[in-house]
Amino acid sequence: MKTDVIIIGGGAAGLFCAIEAGRRGRRVLALEHNAEVGRKIIISGGGRCNFTNLNTTAENFISRNPHFARSALARYTPADFVELVKAHRIEFYEKKLGQLFCRGRSHEIVEMLLAKCRRSRVEIRTGTSVERIEKGKHFTVTTSRGTFESEALVIATGGLSFPKIGATGFGYDVARQFGIAIEETRPSLVPLVFSGANEFRGLAGISIDAEVAAGSQSFRENILFTHRGLSGPAILQASNYWQPGGEVEFNLVPTANIAEALNENRRSRQRLDNFLKGFLPERFVEIFTAGRLPQKPLNELSNRDIEAVGNELHHWRRAFTETEGWHKAEVTLGGVSTSELSSQTMEAKRLPGLYFIGEVVDVTGWLGGYNFQWAWASGHAAGTAV
């Protein structure tokens, strides 16, 4: 079977690319190895799909080339996708920080994409595994359900996150086959594991509003203690910037200056730990202060004690040895090198007709709908070019 465009991968980027290419009159075949398309869309956002972020800029993405994403993001914006969602009468709301979620199920986004594919005459084949790709005059794709030929080939296979829903390194294998460089990959938007013994095991399930700094970035959201380390939105964000074995710094009380508060209450006979329970969860204070902070009444604290307490709570540092791995990661950091691709079209510079879009590319967004916006934007860029 001959066609104009073959897209391997039926996720957010692949479907959006198919829609745009089909709308231009291109004959499009989309291949998905799972039994259904859009599986990552379906499970995202707790089943409500955080489908974009109103505050999206190129600064919200990590890449070896931080400017690469600018072109695609500028040409297909969150407002463009919101307009599409409204046109399909999908109800949504802003949860926080520009994050838009479906009021109903995330399936609504998949159903919208499939409806658009039908209008664009896109052919979708699910349960189809790609066995071999060859390049002669055209691309020849041998699959478990036959052999297909096309002028253009788009790789939209995603990264290594969520292997339980079928994620593989197939896209990277294709890049290597054609001599295209790959930036080192690792789990991203993922919980971190403490270095050494976890003396905070008893805090598993405790959540704290904190400011978390890793590398050059800091994030103010909740952290969540786990049996092995820390999770929560602020930690997932910081994981993009944390380096293996490195430390992360925490301001555990971002709403107050603890040293000032202690100085204002220096005549109090209240014990320090009881005083801190006014700022932090009780169980956290009991475990965190033990052996770390002076167990004294406030009126017995020295200036040095007060300074030490302030430093410990506003500049707590902790090292992490590793992440919780691919099965807990939301996306992949790294991927197909942006130096190999056109930022305008996502086409491989050294092999015309071959495109890479979405998570398989070395462009990784923050938590909060940014990675879906990259999927729509990069899919749109390739779809208008194939």
Rounded mean pLDDT of 94-116? Answer: 97
Instruction: Give the CATH number of domain 192-323; options: 1.10.20.140, 2.40.30.10, 3.30.70.260, 3.40.50.1860.
Output: 2.40.30.10
Domain with CATH 2.40.30.10 in the chain: 192-323
- Percent of the chain exceeding pLDDT 90 equals 94
> Contact 377/57 with Cβ under 8 angstroms?
no
pLDDT in tens, 268-285: 999 999 999 999 999 999
> Measured over all CA atoms, what is the biggest interatomic distance in the chain, rounded to whole angstroms?
85
Predicted confidence at residue 98, as pLDDT, reads 97
Q: Assign 220 a pLDDT band (cuts: 50, 70, 90).
A: very high
Query: How many other β-carbons are positioned within 10 Å of the β-carbon of residue 2?
Result: 11
Domain 2-187+326-383: homologous superfamily in CATH: FAD/NAD(P)-binding domain (3.50.50.60)
Predicted confidence at residue 176, as pLDDT, reads 98
Residue 77 pLDDT > 90: yes
Domain with CATH 3.50.50.60 in the chain: 2-187+326-383
Rounded mean pLDDT of 61-67? Answer: 96
Tell me which DSSP letter residue 183 carries.
E
Prediction pTM value: 0.95
Residue 27 pLDDT > 90: yes
- Percent of the chain exceeding pLDDT 70 equals 100
Which amino acid appears at position 259 of this protein? Answer: A
H helices within 178-223, ranges in order?
A: none
Q: Please name which of 124, 128, 184 lies closest in space to residue 159, comparing C-alpha atoms.
A: 184
pLDDT in tens, 134-177: 999 999 999 999 999 999 999 999 999 989 888 899 999 999 99
H helices within 123-187, ranges in order?
A: 170-177
Instruction: Write down the mean pLDDT value for the chain.
Output: 96
Predicted confidence at residue 244, as pLDDT, reads 87
Structure tokens at 275: 């005083």
pLDDT in tens, 297-351: 999 999 999 999 999 999 999 999 999 999 999 999 999 999 999 999 999 999 9
> Contact 90/108 with Cβ under 8 angstroms?
yes
Q: Please name which of 337, 332, 331 lies closest in space to residue 356, comparing C-alpha atoms.
A: 337
Predicted confidence at residue 120, as pLDDT, reads 97
pLDDT in tens, 234-259: 999 999 999 988 899 999 999 999 99
- Which residues does 304 contact at the CB level (< 8 Å), separation at least 6? none
Predicted confidence at residue 283, as pLDDT, reads 96
Query: From CA 145, how far away is CA 39, in angstroms rounded?
Result: 21
Residue 130 pLDDT > 90: yes
Predicted confidence at residue 182, as pLDDT, reads 98
Predicted confidence at residue 245, as pLDDT, reads 84
